[in-house]
Amino acid sequence: MKKIMQKWCGFFLFSDHLFKESSYKSSLILFSLGLAGFFFKFFFNAFLARHMSSALYGDFSVAISVFNIVSAYMLFGTASSSLRFFSGYLKKNQLDIASKYLTWNLRIVLVSSFFSLLLLALFTICVLGLHLFHIHDIREYHLVVYFLWLTPIGALSVLFTTYLLCHQKIYLGTFFGLFGFYFFGFVLLIPVIFIFNIKLHSESLWLFMLAVVVVAVLTQFLILYVRMRAMFLDSISRIFSRTAEDMMYEKEWWKVSLRLILNQLVFLIITALDLFLLEIIDPSKEIVGCYAAALTVSGIIWITQQSIFQFISPMIAPLIESGIAGKEKLQALINKGQMANYILNGILILLVVIFTDPILKFFGPEYIVAKIPLWILLGATFVAVISTCAPKLLAFTGNEGCLLYVSAYQIITMIIAGIVLIHLYSATGAAFAALLTWFVRTIGSIYFVRKKLGIKVAILF
């Protein structure tokens, strides 16, 4: 069985080619993928916004953020820990342990999906009861309620994306990680709007999103199944059997994964908390949709800065463990990636500022009110660019506690500043709160990476 697995899974093994590949070339390719991802995300959201009210678009943006958070939570940190454990086992040719790790991942997804669907079924019974007795109309619930049913599929998509990132050909994994969802969404949205003339409301929007996530997951599964069929079959055969050796490994995996899920959840919550607070505090539902459009446009910086450092992620743990020489090589990769990061994202921000009006009007004429919040959010994202790779360095080297400490300060800052500033300045206040929050994260991340690892994440400091 082991020989068969080696034959089918050899494509996953790291090679010297990955380390010799020009970091500038990798950064440019990944940046291009990120840029393509932004355009798919932009057009997907813009087309949605133009074919529904700004209030419903705001609800959709909140619902998709909750969907992402819950999908990540259902994996209990295994998606993040895969980049640390799974890629390490593949690099060392420990395919049997890698198969055990896959089994553990699949077991977690099955159990969490079962309990999630059970809770949702009970909730749906209550919702139907309230509707039948004319206590609360089923059509008046927030879109979040509908999207929660999609989270088990979303969790699988996140996990499959991580597996694709663990092999040396990371561009396919980057595609799914950054914009696969928006690519399939945009492709399916065009016929929905222009051929079938379907009007988008809560129910039709839910059915459309179901189709998008199912298509995305099936595509990922087919790619992985073809590439690593033997390992998948071996992992599935072990789902209902556990040995003493399995439990020993699982203890270590759980320890790291649970720490990582806290950091991942906090990050996802922080990136959406300004939108959540605006939805709760501001009485105008239309302004939530306009602010969501500003977040989408400013997201060009999030996508590109993450894509540039995607190629470094699987190398962090092996290079740190290889001693001083490995750490120097990692520092060189970070410096080159950051230089490209600053230049490319600086140009993008300048272009967005110059063409703000036509960009926002593409969503609809009413979205121009998000002009000032957009500029502030661009400033916030550029602050985040300074320490782009710091969270990855801390997470993949066993310093998750430091990252959690920084995240705690960040979320407290966002809550306090967000409540006060949104009450005073609405969407502009939410953007200012985001700017302040990313200052806190950048300063804290740089400090801990320098203290714990002796690495400069911002070139100069």
pLDDT tens, residue by residue, 343-384:
888 898 999 999 999 999 999 999 999 999 999 999 998 888
d(CA 140, CA 296): 26
d(CA 199, CA 75): 34
Instruction: Report CA Rg, the chain.
Output: 22
- What region does 261 belong to: left with phi over 0, alpha with psi -120 to 50, or beta? alpha
CB-CB neighbours of 200 under 10 Å: 19
Residue pair 458/337 in contact by the 8 Å Cβ criterion: no
d(CA 291, CA 369): 9
5 is a domain residue = no
9 is a domain residue = no
pLDDT in tens, the chain (461 residues): 444 444 434 333 334 444 444 555 666 777 778 788 888 999 999 999 999 999 999 999 999 999 999 998 888 877 777 777 887 787 777 888 888 888 888 888 888 888 888 988 898 898 888 878 878 777 778 889 889 999 999 998 988 888 887 765 567 777 887 778 899 999 999 998 888 888 888 888 999 999 999 999 999 888 888 888 888 788 878 887 777 677 777 778 887 787 777 777 887 888 899 999 999 999 888 999 999 999 999 988 876 666 666 667 667 777 877 778 888 888 888 888 788 788 888 898 999 999 999 999 999 999 999 999 999 999 998 888 888 888 878 877 778 778 888 888 989 999 999 999 999 999 999 999 999 999 999 999 899 988 888 888 876 55
Q: What are the residues whose beta carbons fall under 8 Å from the beta carbon of 416, sequence distance 6 or more?
A: none
246 is a domain residue = yes
- What region does 459 belong to: left with phi over 0, alpha with psi -120 to 50, or beta? left
458 is a domain residue = no
Q: DSSP code of 169? A: -
8 is a domain residue = no
d(CA 257, CA 253): 6
Kindly give the residue spans of alpha helices, DSSP state H, lying in 134-281: 143-147, 151-165, 170-175, 181-194, 202-227, 229-237, 244-281
433 is a domain residue = yes
Three-class secondary structure of residue 227 per DSSP: helix
CB-CB neighbours of 209 under 10 Å: 24
CB-CB neighbours of 372 under 10 Å: 15
Domain that holds residue 172: 21-453
210 is a domain residue = yes
Q: Which pLDDT belongs to residue 169?
A: 59
d(CA 281, CA 278): 5
Residue pair 212/184 in contact by the 8 Å Cβ criterion: yes
CB-CB neighbours of 404 under 10 Å: 16
On the CB side of 23, CA atoms within 13 Å amount to: 19
Residue pair 361/367 in contact by the 8 Å Cβ criterion: yes
d(CA 293, CA 54): 9
106 is a domain residue = yes
Q: Which pLDDT belongs to residue 371?
A: 96
d(CA 177, CA 165): 8
Domains: count for the chain: 1
Burial level of 221, CB count in 10 A (0-12/13-18/19+)? middle
